[in-house]
């Protein structure tokens, strides 16, 4: 079965060329990919999807399967025209390999990402944590985002984000908020078409929830400036439990810290992004 995420992150190789504006030439990898409407937010395509696409390119340049950390800086909103990915391997050692990728669209750079890969199955280090997954009701008792009443999308441009037709996000009212937090949002998510989560999808899932800060900011759009995802394990099949929180909103900029837990209760990813509020919803 062909899954939407795999179809839309498929890469087509281009000749071995230097990225526009200079950089590595010999040994550089280049790919092209389309940008589907299936991952749109209230405006342009979701930043987590773009980072997941970048990870696909990075994976082509390294000898390890798992992106243990990836950071993307977003320069321009993406459009629904093809992108070029220019990938450069930076270093490959015995346990880790790092690479950089830039995404160019219509002659302009829209994203640059740096990733370090390893093999999580080969790890033999210590394990310790007192953290637990968020205390959530079962998914069937949570509110599906795509079933929100139409009036709840009235303040947003266009219709419900297409992202929520591809990812089943279910919201639970958080049972607690830690001291200093101004916003928290928790719940479950999975692909609508039945695709199981994996490390390639974690950057997308880390940015799939509505921003928690919308509880306290009357914004139409909150574009991502920078997104970092730390992969801590390969997810088991099934629902992903998620918790996102914000402590500081200053001059329109805010951070959002996320945790993703798999169906067995194991932490599989941590995320932090810097984003900025844009526009005001009509009152």
Rounded to whole angstroms, how far apart are CA atoms 34 and 8?
7
What is the Cβ-side half-sphere exposure of residue 68, based on CA atoms within 13 angstroms?
15
Please tell me the predicted confidence (pLDDT) of residue 97. Answer: 97
Q: Helices (H), strands (E): how many in the chain?
A: 4, 14
Rounded to whole angstroms, how far apart are CA atoms 80 and 16?
25
Rounded to whole angstroms, how far apart are CA atoms 17 and 35?
22
Rounded to whole angstroms, how far apart are CA atoms 46 and 44?
6
Task: Identify whether the C-beta of residue 101 lies closer than 8 Å to the C-beta of residue 86.
Answer: yes
Please tell me the predicted confidence (pLDDT) of residue 33. Answer: 97
User: Each residue of 145-162: pLDDT tens digit?
Assistant: 987 755 444 444 446 789
Please tell me the predicted confidence (pLDDT) of residue 25. Answer: 42
Please tell me the predicted confidence (pLDDT) of residue 9. Answer: 97
User: What distances in angstroms separate CA 50 from CA 22, 206, 226, one per listed residue?
Assistant: 23, 12, 12
Sign for the CA dihedral angle at 146, 209, 174, 137 comes to positive
- Strands 108-118, 97-105: pairing is antiparallel
User: Each residue of 163-209: pLDDT tens digit?
Assistant: 999 999 999 976 666 777 888 999 999 999 999 999 999 999 999 99
Task: Identify whether the C-beta of residue 87 lies closer than 8 Å to the C-beta of residue 31.
Answer: yes
Q: Give phi and psi for 139, each to the nearest 5.
A: -55, -35
pTM as predicted: 0.90
Domains of the chain: 4-120 (2.40.160.210), 139-276 (2.40.160.210)
Q: Which residues of the chain, if any, have pLDDT below 70? A: 16-27, 124, 149-159, 174-177, 218-220, 279-283
């Amino acid at each position: 079965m062909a899954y939407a995420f795999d179809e839309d992150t498929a890469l087509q190789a281009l000749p071995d060329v230097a990225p526009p504006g200079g950089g590595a030439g010999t040994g550089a990898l280049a790919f092209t990919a389309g940008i589907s409407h299936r991952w749109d937010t209230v405006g342009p395509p979701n930043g987590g999807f773009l980072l997941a696409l970048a990870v696909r390119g990075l994976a082509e340049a390294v000898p390890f399967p798992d992106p243990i950390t990836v950071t993307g800086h977003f320069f321009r909103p993406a459009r629904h025209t093809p992108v070029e990915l220019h990938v450069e391997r930076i270093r490959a050692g015995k346990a880790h390999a790092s690479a950089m990728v830039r995404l160019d669209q219509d002659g302009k750079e829209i994203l640059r990402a740096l990733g370090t890969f390893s093999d999580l199955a080969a790890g033999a280090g210590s394990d310790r944590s007192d953290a637990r997954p968020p205390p959530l009701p079962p998914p069937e008792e949570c509110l599906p985002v795509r079933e929100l009443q139409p009036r709840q999308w009235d303040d947003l441009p266009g219709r419900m984000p297409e992202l929520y037709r591809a990812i089943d996000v279910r919201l639970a009212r958080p049972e607690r908020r830690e001291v200093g937090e101004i916003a928290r949002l928790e719940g479950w998510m999975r692909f609508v078409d039945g695709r199981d989560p994996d490390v390639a999808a974690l950057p997308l899932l880390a940015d799939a929830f509505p921003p928690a800060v919308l509880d306290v900011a009357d914004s139409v759009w909150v574009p991502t400036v920078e997104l970092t995802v730390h992969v801590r394990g390969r997810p088991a099949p099934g629902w992903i439990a998620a918790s996102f929180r914000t402590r500081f909103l200053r001059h329109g900029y805010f951070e959002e810290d996320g945790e993703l837990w798999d169906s067995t209760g194991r932490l599989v990813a941590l995320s932090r992004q810097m984003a900025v509020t844009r526009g005001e919803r009509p009152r």
